[in-house]
Amino acid sequence: MNKKIEKQLKSAKKASLRLGLLPHKQRKLILKNLAKGLRKNKKTILAANAKDLKKFPEKDPMRDRLLLTPERIETMAREVESLAKMPDPIGETFDCRKRHGLKLCRKRVPIGVIGIIYESRPNVTTDVSAICLISGNAAVLKGGRDGRESYIALHKIIREALRAAKADPEAVQFIDPKIKGAAEEIITARGLVDLAIPRGSARLIDFVRDNATVPVIETGAGVCHTYVDASAKLAPSAKIIFNAKTQRPSVCNALDTALVHEKIAEKFLPMVSKLLAKKEVEIFGDGKSFNILKNCHPKNLLRRAKPADFGREFLSQKMSMKIVSGLEEALRHIARYSSKHSEAILTEDKKNAERFQREVDAAVVYVNASTRFSDGAVFGLGSEIGNSTDKLHARGPMGPREMTTYKWLASGKYGVRK
């Protein structure tokens, strides 16, 4: 193991033992200090971020992930503050019972050291640090190289927030992305890292899942679908498709594929095309949708879909579109191509809505709403460390409570088992 990383992981492990014992008031103070630090050092953060942004062309869709603005920094600070206002995620005693002379209870406790491997999204740095700290966990952060300067500036503020609250600044470790093989070092550090969470592309997630020797929660790539049923209200549905695709196209809960019932396609596609064209959304249409869209969508923004365009996470102003015969075909398509992140149906048919939510296998299943709502802050979790597509331990947006486990507490009267 790289000696520098080994030293950092050992420091994080040691700090985690103390952090988990801090009173809630002190952990809240860390977060309040962090929010203040973000606001106070806004110019420093933006200057560091500007150095990172120089690596990206203006029109590169991935640039938006890296970009920080005064407004986004304020949002980061508010999310940190919202986490500080939530109930203590650790220490809860629950599920108590008396059995064989024993009083048995479960108690919620921190997981320990959480390693987060992510790509060029500076806001993740403070989001996941705050969630780990408020839930009593140490954090080991390894972001992508493109955001290095931003990470360094933010990590300094996090350490100062810990010091000001008289907590161990080693509780949040920044692993330099310039260190070759750093991600693999973290995800194979059994005994030092208790949980690894990848946040980013399918390629990153596959790498972590396939190579980790520590437990992993997958925050899966978001191949998200929206099915527009025959009974859907067309104008509101067009606005939802537009929002889900364009509101922030580079994130995992953005829309990738629209499935449209054949009975409404002739009327609906021109309506949604008019909106999507405003944001220059490139559509990859199956044969039927292409034939309709060629009469209304800009020619330079219309392509015939290939098989690979379904089940594809675009992360840009691009999407695929397919006309289906009804709910049955839509369900089959989603079952085949979904990444189990977020799926939606737009319908006025109550039975179809209920069937869709019952049968679709995804972390979040919507009726008459945009997939862009899949977010920890929106769900009332304060913020999120990721959106889990796993089925064990946690699923969907994960907040502080999802970063805990429990231990059994057993009290007896010098009892022996007979």
pLDDT in tens, the chain (418 residues): 999 999 999 999 999 999 999 999 999 999 999 999 999 999 999 999 999 999 888 877 678 889 999 999 999 999 999 999 999 999 999 999 999 999 999 999 999 999 999 988 899 999 999 999 999 999 999 999 999 999 999 999 999 999 999 999 999 999 999 999 999 999 999 999 999 999 888 889 899 999 999 999 988 678 999 999 999 999 999 999 999 999 989 888 999 999 999 999 999 999 999 999 999 999 999 999 999 999 999 999 999 999 999 999 998 999 999 999 999 999 999 999 999 999 999 999 999 999 999 999 999 999 999 999 999 889 988 888 988 988 888 999 999 999 999 999 999 999 899 8
Q: Which of 154, 140, 143 is nearest to 121 (CA)?
A: 143
pTM of the model: 0.88
Homologous superfamily assigned to 3-218+390-411: Aldehyde Dehydrogenase; Chain A, domain 1 (3.40.605.10)
Tell me the three state secondary structure of residue 150. Answer: helix
Residue 189, Cβ density class (10 Å: 0-12 exposed, 13-18 middle, ≥19 buried): buried
User: Residue 60: what pLDDT?
Assistant: 76
Which contiguous run of DSSP H or E holds residue 135? none
Give, rounded to a whole angstrom, the gap between the first and last alpha carbons of the chain.
Answer: 48
C-alpha to C-alpha distances, 273 to 52, 250, 263, nearest whole angstrom:
35, 20, 17
Could you tell me whether strands 396-398 and 386-388 are parallel, antiparallel, or unpaired per DSSP bridges?
antiparallel
User: Residue 57: what pLDDT?
Assistant: 81
Q: Do 224-373 and 3-218+390-411 fall under one CATH topology?
A: no
Locus of tokens 């102003």: 317
Which contiguous run of DSSP H or E holds residue 360? none
User: Residue 290: what pLDDT?
Assistant: 98
> Would you list the domain boundaries of the chain?
3-218+390-411, 224-373
Looking at domain 224-373, its CATH architecture is 3-Layer(aba) Sandwich (3.40)
Q: Which of 190, 206, 193, 222 is nearest to 374 (CA)?
A: 222
User: Residue 27: what pLDDT?
Assistant: 98
How far, in Å, CA of 352 to CA of 239, rounded? 21
Contact, 347 vs 365, CB < 8 A? no
| Extended strands (E) in 265-335 | 282-285, 302-304, 318-324
